[in-house]
Chain A
Amino acid sequence: MIKEQDFLKDIASYCIENSKKLGATEVGVKVIHSVSENVSFRNKKLDESNRSDSFALNLTTYIDKKKSSINSSDLSKSNLEKLIERCIDATKITPVDENNSLPDKDLMSKKMEDLQLYDETHYPNDKKIEFLEHVEDAASLDDKIVNTESGFTENKNNFILANSNGFQNGYKTSNFSSSCVAVSRINGTMERDYEFGSKRFLNDMLKPDEIGKIAAEKAINKLGPKKIDSEKIGVIFDKRISKGILSTLASAVSASAISRGTSFLKDKIDNEIFPSSINIIDDPKIQKGIGSQNFDSEGVENNSLKLVENGILKNYLIDTYYGKKLNLKSNGRSGGTTNLYFENGNLSFKELLNLEKKFLYITETIGHGGNIITGDYSVGASGFMVENGELTYPVSEITIAGNFKEMFKNLILANDLEMKYSTNAPTLLINEMTVAGK
């Protein structure tokens, strides 16, 4: 069973009081309990069952402008006593940094909304097994599918965030997720693809046969890929990977990258970085949202934020420390974005595919080829050729490359946004990229 708030509060208070006794001038602490149960199947048979029950404690102590932290999973008071002492000792000899401090009191979150982030339903393992049997049955229908692996994870969390300025709050969250990976084979070569879904509430989950069916279809469609010639061509990003463009943007507009001067978007605030039709929003207050939160990881209140409005960069993602460096107030983005998304474009998926005679449609990228400092981008990719609006044949062992500055400016969105992850984007087209193949 997940621990109640009072249990976590007791530990948080103990840490704050003891740190102050030993000389801390400010203290921040987070105590987390999580219980997770996972069942996985392979080729229609039970493969693994995994139960996890874990605590985590993060404590940061300040002595004037000096700061140090400890993390521990052992919440016994005898252990905490030793660790707090160690933390204070390290704090005393860490050099001063004038930007170290708890958040301003007037920025702290004061209200709690019910964002519908916790479903107390417990789905017993027998039920998970039954669910996965349906997933696997649906995934194994075609005899080109030679291997299936699927999993169901139920996750329950509770936490308390507290500091020496009197803030103390927390809440429970839940996650139910299921995935299926299918491997297809033809003429001795194999391809792999997947489907995945994660929801706050059990009843909102994708139906098991849908998950299996989609994974199998995707794996079969990839069979027999060709390597294409190297060329400059318009590249369409499938929804599964178009969200990566937003993750890059988020890293590049984090106050840390901006204040360190290591972002290709430094000095671009109030400049047009996307076409004027583009709006990008980060909203922590979406009901049942995977990235929703009542306050950020420092307890600072956060609300919907327009990062990009009509193509113009309007806001950075700011926490207390880097905010002070930039002379800006925290906007509650310690810990990063919440529910980040592009507002829908004007074109349907079909219309987007028909904009030109020929496109490359990418469904998967591999490698970590994005450079936030220069904006250079180069990754391995696989997907399909699109000719006259139709997906004609699978493509693999190629790379796509460009620079984010130009890619952002040449971006066209479809209108098929779905809120499936914490970061979400519709299908998108980048007018010209370099494809390296043969």
Chain B
Amino acid sequence: MSNFFKNSDIDASQAEAIVTETLKNCDDGELYLENHKSESIILDDNKIKSSTYNSDQGYGFRAVTGEVVAYSHSNDISKESLKKSSDNLKDTLKSKKGTYNHEIPKTNSKYYENINPIENKTFNSKIDLLNNVNNYLRSKGSIVNQVTANFLGEHKSVEIIRSDNQVLKDDRPLVRFNVSVVLEKDGKKETGVYGVGGRQSYDDYLKDESWKNICDEAFRIAAVNLESKPAPAGEMKVVLGPGWPAILIHEAIGHGLEGDFNRKKTSAFHNLMGQQVASEGVTIVDDGTLHQRRGSLTIDDEGTPTENTVLIENGILKNYMQDRLNARLMGTKSTGSGRRESYKHVVLPRMRNTMMLSGKYSQDEMISSVDKGIFAVSFGGGQVDITSGKFVFNCTEAYEITNGKIGSPIKGATLIGDGPSILKEVSLVGNDMKLDPGIGTCGKAGQGVPVGVAQPSILINKMTVGGTKL
């Protein structure tokens, strides 16, 4: 039974009738209903700075014909509001005629449990843990200048009503726990940040004192950065560590392989299907089916089951990531990549968990092959210009490499490269693939969605490092 119409003047069958009637001359569309509960509890500067609980509910009604999308959303799940939205959609598409495609694959798989992480850990125990984190880190000495820690938890229920009473449902838990520490020594201050998360309960990530490992890692990164010297400037070899540095893959090629940019021919990859876009040892997939991962989804926000989509296989471009609209216009099928931040947003093709698979080399082999370069272990965030293909990301932990040996840590610097050519510069792929700790949020067209990344260590022959030292 649907909970969305419990307090409404309209019931599910009436809503379904409005959907069917509105979409009868359209190619596609649905009524997307969402109930979203979330919490944020933040400790900062020795205090619980804020505790906030959010409760949001609404619908997004979409009608699609040809390339045209009509969308209307509201918090008000009522007969009047839905009728008004319906009139709006019909008015926008009045001169168009489409044929509704009723086909949508079904799934019995589930990649996460229907739990509410907010309710299955008590408020008091969250406050206690935040205080423990603060005390634990501050006990490491007067070098600790500032500690911030926070819980972010949510539970999202979605219901997708398609034409002719097809109803698809999903319940999605998501948590994230973050620690940030600022260290000060000899007047110099540096930050270290670490976090964990995914689609499980908080305690799956924090039990048995494992929260101490998160604190230790944040502290370690800040301590490394206290010893950092200015980063070099110019083109050089770059070794990327495994795990989270895969945001390079996400920025450099992931966005460029999303269906919308390729349908519109505005991606630097739009005419490269079937061609060699990476070195031979490089295989990249986008997988929505990993259990309990941050980027995983049982069904996407159009109701399509997710899958493991091969993007690049042994260097050859194989597939784009598609939602229903772009798949239809490009004559292919949805890869279960249609996502939206909330009911307030239209669907776009997006990444889920983007991963470069393991090769055969060890990280040591890579480092010892570099005369002059850098070894980048962790990153802040990145960004890409889809059209020109240029992308950046910021190192938060990196070291110089001289004559095959890891040297001093270097200050945070931006690395810049060119998406379509960077993967051809990958000369060695490591045997140590690792998933990120579950902290990524991807932004596109003003919409943020949770994503994951993974990669082994890789050696890139040439990249521009944006330091200050010439």
Contacts and interface: CB of A to CB of B under 8 A. Distances in A.
Contact of B385 (A55, A192, A399): A192
A10 interface: no
Contact of A367 (B189, B191, B392): B392
Interface string B48-72: 1111111111100000000111111
B392 A401 contact: no
A95 B48 contact: yes
B56 A436 contact: no
Contact of B123 (A90, A368, A378): A90
A434 B383 CA distance: 21
A54 B387 contact: no
B182 interface: yes
Given A52-B344, A73-B56, A438-B234, A95 B70 contact: no
B394 interface: yes
Where chain A touches its partner, the secondary structure class is strand
A324 to B, nearest CB: 12
Interface in A243-274: 259-262
A50 interface: yes
Interface string A142-163: 0000110000000000000000
B266 A79 contact: no
Nearest to A373: B189
B387 A191 contact: yes
A73 B34 CA distance: 12
B127 A401 contact: no
B108 interface: no
A400 B413 CA distance: 10
Contacts of B69: 47-50
Interface range on chain B (Cβ under 8 Å from partner): 35 or more
A76 interface: yes
Contact of A436 (B123, B145, B190, B465): B465
Interface string A85-98: 01100100111010
Contacts of A78: 7
B394 A260 contact: no
Interface string B399-419: 000000000000111111110
A356 interface: no
B45 to A, nearest CB: 5
Interface in B44-100: 44-45, 47-58, 67-76, 81, 85, 88, 91-92
Given A70-B54, A97-B47, A366-B392, A434 B467 contact: yes
Nearest to A82: B55
28 contacts: A46-B68, A49-B71, A49-B92, A52-B74, A53-B75, A55-B75, A73-B55, A73-B57, A93-B124, A94-B48, A94-B51, A95-B127, A147-B264, A191-B387, A230-B235, A260-B146, A262-B146, A262-B191, A374-B189, A382-B388, A396-B388, A397-B390, A399-B392, A399-B416, A401-B233, A436-B465, A437-B234, A437-B464
Interface of A: 42, 45-55, 67-76, 78-79, 83, 86-87, 90, 93-95, 97, 99, 125, 146-147, 183, 188-192, 225, 227, 230-232, 259-262, 325, 366-369, 371, 373-374, 376, 378-380, 382, 396-403, 434-438
The 6 closest A-B pairs by CB, nearest first: A399-B466, A380-B392, A367-B392, A436-B233, A192-B387, A230-B234
